[in-house]
Structure 1
Amino acid sequence: MEPAPPIEVTRLLARARAGDAQAMGDVFSALYDELKRAARLQLRRMHDDFETTALVHEAYLKLGGAQLAAQDRNHLLALSARAMRQVLVDDARARKADKRGGGQDALTLGALANAGEAAAVEVLKLDELLDALHRLDERAAQVVELRYFGGYTEPEVAGMLGISESTLRRDWRRARAFLMKETAP
């Protein structure tokens, strides 16, 4: 299925912000396949018990549904990637707090390293690291969030952030270096 045109999504978001309750549903309908693709990629990396549809719906609820104030398609996709991250972190926290000792699945930074490094980081640790990276370099943290949690390619992320692909690759290298340094023994 072809992705929804950015201009149409932006118009629908403007209608939703103006109080059109149906418009937000139309936005998510237009982007649903793209959001499911991002969720599927994330869950494949994590081997999580979440189902793709459940993650997309939980992220929608986390975003506030019709109360969402996204400005355009790219902003909504970025917010959705962040919401998916938050849903998965909340789930990991709940499993960690489980009295029966429910374990949590590990995320690997091998995908971040692009060199096959097998550093494993728990979901909560990755969340802490991204928060620290966000304080140091907000755009680099956004790059990680969109690439890792959103499952978007370099050209897609560059377009979403309005930067060149070479700038994106520099941010990606800087973010990976920070994350690998912080997870090194």
Structure 2
Amino acid sequence: MQEQLPVISVVNKLLYSSWLKILSHAANLLNLIYFCSLTINRDVGMKTRSNQLSELIIGCAIEVHRVLGPGLLKSIYEEALFFELKQAGLNVERKVAVPVNYKDKKLNTDLKLDLLVDDLVIVELKAVDRLNCIHDAQLLTYLKMKNLWLGLLINFNEYTLKQGIKRLVN
């Protein structure tokens, strides 16, 4: 019996050591799951808020188009939409500078977003005959550079504004 005690003791130590490793891995896994759930919840919240904002922005753009109609300069629509969004109580910035890096060097020329609403939705305005793929690419580039999810491309030079609105996601 005395010879078995050390064997049992060694087995117990090995089991205890293995059990501690399992607990440690389980704790790490739980931390990872918790972190992922926070990230997912944050992303879901951001997307929900962005969707709500897009509805408000589109409503304001329709009001601008209803009052002014098509055929004016983009700068007129931009100023009017900025006014409407402010009246709606939204935090809006105009001509937001986006720095451009080329091979780890910041270029002297920044890109300029037309409107940034609540630091969540980029609004790119146009007053052109029709939207082209390059307009989509421009907005998608802005979304990537600002690490944002939702952008609206609005062409005010349409008979009905609904035909001139595009939602793009990054």
Q: Which one has the largest radius of gyration?
A: 2
TM-score norm. by structure 1 comes to 0.22
Q: Which has the higher strand share?
A: 2
TM-score norm. by structure 2 comes to 0.24
Q: Which has the higher helix share?
A: 1
